[in-house]
């Protein structure tokens, strides 16, 4: 059952020589073959490369043991991971969930992927995504819809639905995703896993296929908070190849989580009490995030979670983020506008689908008209309209001004509290097809996550219960810029006091 | 304000997207609904508010102008639909 391990538990066993990286990767691949016909998390599997990487990790671990240098070994050495298909892995087909990149093979890897590879991690394959990361259910993938492991008739959320489902199904030990308006946090909530969006600029965007450049961040999906901390610590940091990457030191996130750091003393890692704890921390519950229209069980679970934080010694107060109801229209003007610019590169000249036309221009129109799916075309047009002459001031500029107000709401609130606690999603996982015909209704799935991207700050979703149908509910915590250590600390204390993350979905073995 | 089919065609042309007649009708309706919703922003007084173009305090990130090897041309052209003599091959532009 090696595929059910967390990164930190597997790292202990690898260091102790009780398992090998090859065995761990074989177990993950075995799990994928058993369940992925039903879950459909993966677009591309790379089993041969994965086993080679695992063998290399075994050699690295053996050398470290020989040299008495196990303490210097990255906890990611030999750990099998999945990568969302909007993040480039050199030599591996990267589709962005689109037909326009059906056969695109990147000639380079994203910085985040390079850092994982340098740490000795193993890449199992690329996970399904809404096309170009535009969506909240993975139904906009041009290939297929990923299923929620907790109920295969329901969506896993999106756009990092493949990554979230893979983690929930133990079809990888953890995964990378991307979050522009909630695309890591919302699927994490719907799939009952941990999903973290770093502060804008914390993790390099080099190699993340651009959707909305002022909002995008690579995020992590993991089985528990400790794993999220380990992954973040590996991929975070300044990158000269991304001019929006910030040169701020990477904190020791394990120190924040546990109250003691990642330095080696040979001790086993694993759950230990409350960690650094939340006593004395101030937690704000924004009144605008507890509204009619949200599923009552979601509200109840999140309020109970805030109650747990109070029992653990946090000071809870009600706060206000007054411009919350403007986040959706602001986001759905800024993100499409930026996307319309970023997706202009798909013209069939340097890569991707190339449909010939009577003229060069017809070639562009046909390539893009045929290669992009409906949601992508919708957003490109929305964005082009918002930026066009005569409408720029009323739409795009206006949205940017209101964005300033939304960001200021967070800055003001975070003077009064250290962390904001609220729901991640207004509902648990909805049925496949339920929102497919109403784009606006789909957009409302993101009301609680959009503001954080507009403000550029960090946030995490952690499991906090289930509804009557057994579907996961997520607690969202948000903190100020570069305050990931505080975020992880609060999430860890909550997780250790409640244990929701230990519950797993049952998925029937699909092998014949 | 109602979005016309002519405006949809204009936007599609700005974005170089070929649309079927059925798509034009459908997108007109859907885009109009979203833009109507976005009109709520007009009620906000932003006369004294600067736009946020980036959440970061960074400006003008530069690097030293040092020559370094570029990506090998074979890698650059590896995904090209058409390549010739070490270049991307495109349809005729002038006189087209």
B1-58 tens-digit pLDDT: 578 999 999 999 999 999 999 999 999 999 999 899 889 999 999 999 999 989 998 8
A392-420 average pLDDT score: 97
- Cβ-defined contact of A440 to B34 (cutoff 8 Å): yes
Dump pLDDT digits (tens) for A416-432. Answer: 999 999 999 999 999 99
Would you call B19 and A349 a contact, using CB atoms and an 8 Å cutoff?
A: no
Q: Is B32 on the interface with A (CB under 8 A)?
A: no
Instruction: Give the pLDDT of residue B59.
Output: 87
Place of tokens 């940091």: A237
With CA atoms as reference, the chain B residue closest to A356 would be B91
Q: What is the pLDDT of residue A239?
A: 97
- Asked if residue A191 has pLDDT above 70, the reply is yes
Residue A291 predicted with pLDDT over 90: no
Predicted confidence at residue A445, as pLDDT, reads: 86
**What is the average pLDDT across A28-57?**
98
Q: What percent of chain A has pLDDT over 90?
A: 91
* pLDDT (tens digit per residue) in A431-474: 999 998 888 788 888 999 999 999 999 999 999 999 999 999 99
The answer to whether residue B24 is domain-embedded is: yes
Q: Within a 13 Å sphere around the CA of A431, how many CA atoms are in the beta-carbon half? A: 4
The answer as to whether B22 is a domain residue is yes
Is-cis flag, bond preceding A260, omega within 30?
no
Question: Does B2 contact chain A (CB < 8 Å)?
Answer: no
B22 in contact with A, Cβ within 8 Å: no
User: A258: pLDDT confidence band, cut at 50, 70 and 90?
Assistant: confident
Containing A235, the helix (H) or strand (E) segment is helix A225-235
Chain A 437-466, residues with CB within 8 Å of chain B CB atoms: 439-440, 443, 454-456
Residues of B in contact with A238 (CB under 8 A): none
- Tell whether the model's pLDDT for residue A510 goes beyond 80: no
**Contact call for B44 and A328, based on CB within 8 A:** no
Interface test with A, best of B15, B39, B76, B93 (most A CBs within 10 A): B15
- Residue B75 has what pLDDT? 96
Answer whether A6's CB lies under 8 Å from A495's CB. Answer: no
Q: How confident is the model at residue A270 (pLDDT cuts 50, 70, 90)?
A: very low
CA–CA separation, A233 and A164 (whole Å):
20
User: How far is the C-alpha of A20 from the C-alpha of A146, rounded, in Å?
Assistant: 30
Total CB pairs under 8 A between chain A and B = 167
Residues of chain A positioned with their CB less than 8 A from the CB of B40: 325-326, 329
Tell if the CB–CB gap between A405 and B44 is shorter than 8 Å.
yes
- Domain over A2-258+277-325+403-502 is classified CATH 3.40.50.300: no
Average pLDDT score over residue span A176-202: 98
Is residue A105 within 8 angstroms of chain B, CB to CB?
A: yes
**Domain hosting residue B35, numbered range:** 5-43
Whether the per-residue pLDDT at A32 is higher than 70: the answer is yes
Q: Where are the domains of chain A?
A: 2-258+277-325+403-502
How many angstroms separate the CA atoms of A248 and A218, rounded? Answer: 17
> Which has more confidence, A402 or B38?
A402
Q: pLDDT grade, residue A264 (50/70/90)?
A: very low
Query: Is position B33 within any domain?
Result: yes
The complex's ipTM works out to 0.95
Residue linked to tokens 């319309």: A340
Query: Minimal Cα–Cα distance from B6 to chain A, Å?
Result: 13
Residues of chain A with pLDDT > 70, as a percent, come to 96
Hey, are the CB atoms on A354 and B81 less than 8 Å from each other?
yes
Among chain B residues, CA nearest to A443 = B34
Chain Cα centroid distance, residue A80: 17
CB A135 within 8 A of CB A265: no
Query: For residue A3, is pLDDT > 70?
Result: yes
CATH of the domain at B20: 1.10.20.60
What does the alpha-carbon distance between residue B14 and residue B46 come to, in Å, rounded to a whole number? 29
Q: Of the candidates B8, B18, B90, which has its C-beta nearest A369's C-beta?
A: B18
- In the predicted structure, residue A269 carries a pLDDT above the cut 50: no
In what order do the strands lie in the sheet containing A122-127? Answer: A42-45, A122-127, A80-84, A174-179, A217-222, A194-197, A458-466, A472-479, A419-423, A282-286, A315-319
**pLDDT (tens digit per residue) in A343-359:** 999 999 999 999 999 99
Distance CA A482, CA A247 (A): 11
Q: CB within 8 A of A509, min separation 6: which ones? A: A34, A35
Question: What is the least distance, in Å, from the CA of A381 to any CA of chain B?
Answer: 6
Confidence band of B96 (pLDDT split at 50, 70, 90): low
User: Nearest residue of A to residue B30 by CA position?
Assistant: A439
pTM of the full predicted structure? Answer: 0.96
**Active site amino acids of A:** 84, 159, 183
Inform me whether the pLDDT recorded for A261 exceeds 70: no
| pLDDT at residue A459, rounded to an integer | 98
Domains identified in chain B, total number:
1
pLDDT of residue A511: 59
Q: Which of B33, B46, B91 sits opposite A440 (nearest CB)?
A: B33
């Amino acid at each position: 059952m090696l595929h059910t391990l967390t990164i930190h538990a597997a790292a202990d066993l690898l260091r102790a020589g009780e398992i090998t990286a090859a065995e761990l990767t074989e177990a993950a691949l075995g799990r994928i073959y058993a369940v992925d016909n039903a879950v459909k998390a993966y677009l591309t599997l790379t089993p041969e490369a994965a086993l080679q990487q695992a063998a290399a990790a075994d050699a690295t671990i053996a050398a470290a043991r020989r040299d008495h240098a196990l303490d210097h070994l990255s906890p990611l050495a030999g750990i099998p991971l999945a990568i969302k298909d909007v993040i480039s892995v050199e030599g591996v087909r990267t589709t962005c969930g689109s037909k326009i990149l059906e056969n695109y093979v990147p000639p380079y890897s994203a910085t985040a992927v390079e850092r994982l590879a340098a740490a000795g991690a193993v890449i199992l394959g690329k996970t399904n995504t809404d096309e170009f990361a535009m969506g909240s259910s993975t139904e906009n993938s041009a290939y297929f819809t990923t299923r929620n492991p907790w109920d295969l008739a329901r969506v896993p959320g999106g756009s990092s639905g493949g990554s979230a489902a893979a983690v929930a199904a133990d079809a990888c030990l953890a995964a990378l995703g991307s979050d522009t308006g909630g695309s890591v946090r919302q699927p994490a909530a719907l799939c009952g896993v941990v999903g973290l969006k770093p502060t804008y600029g914390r993790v390099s965007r080099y190699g993340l296929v651009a959707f909305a450049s002022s909002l995008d961040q690579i995020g992590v999906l993991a089985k528990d908070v400790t794993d999220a901390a380990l992954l973040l610590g590996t991929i975070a940091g300044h990158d000269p190849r991304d001019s929006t990457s910030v040169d701020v030191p990477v904190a020791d996130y394990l120190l924040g989580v546990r109250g003691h750091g990642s330095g080696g003393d040979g001790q086993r890692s694993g759950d230990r009490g409350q960690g650094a704890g939340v006593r004395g921390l101030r937690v704000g519950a924004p009144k605008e995030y507890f509204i009619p229209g949200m599923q009552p069980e979601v509200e109840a679970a999140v309020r109970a979670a805030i109650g747990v934080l109070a029992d653990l010694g946090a000071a809870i107060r009600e706060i206000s983020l007054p411009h919350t109801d403007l986040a959706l229209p602001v986001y759905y003007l800024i993100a499409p506008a930026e996307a319309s610019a970023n997706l202009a590169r798909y013209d069939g000249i340097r890569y991707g689908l190339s449909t010939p036309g009577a003229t060069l221009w017809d070639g562009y129109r046909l390539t893009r008209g045929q290669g992009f799916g409906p949601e992508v075309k919708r957003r490109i047009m929305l964005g082009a309209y918002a930026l066009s002459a005569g409408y720029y001031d009323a739409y795009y500029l206006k949205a940017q001004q209101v964005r300033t107000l939304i960001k200021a709401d967070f800055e003001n609130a975070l003077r009064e509290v250290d962390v904001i606690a609220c729901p991640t999603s207004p509902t648990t996982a909805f049925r496949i097809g339920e929102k497919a015909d109403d784009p606006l209704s789909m957009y409302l799935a993101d009301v609680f996550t959009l503001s954080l991207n507009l403000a550029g700050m960090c946030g995490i979703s952690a499991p906090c219960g289930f509804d009557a149908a057994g579907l996961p509910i997520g607690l969202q915590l948000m903190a100020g810029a570069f305050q990931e250590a505080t975020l992880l600390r609060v999430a860890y204390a909550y997780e250790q006091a409640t244990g929701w993350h230990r519950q797993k979905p049952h998925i029937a073995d699909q092998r014949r | 304000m109602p979005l016309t089919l002519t405006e949809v065609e204009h936007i599609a042309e700005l974005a170089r997207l070929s649309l079927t007649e059925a798509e034009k009708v459908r997108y007109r309706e859907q885009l109009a609904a979203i833009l109507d919703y976005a009109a709520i922003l007009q009620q906000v007084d932003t006369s004294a508010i600067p736009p946020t173009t980036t959440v970061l305090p960074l400006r003008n990130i530069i690097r030293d102008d040092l020559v370094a090897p570029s990506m090998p041309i074979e890698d650059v052209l590896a995904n090209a639909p058409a390549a010739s003599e070490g270049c991307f091959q495109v349809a005729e532009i002038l006189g087209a």
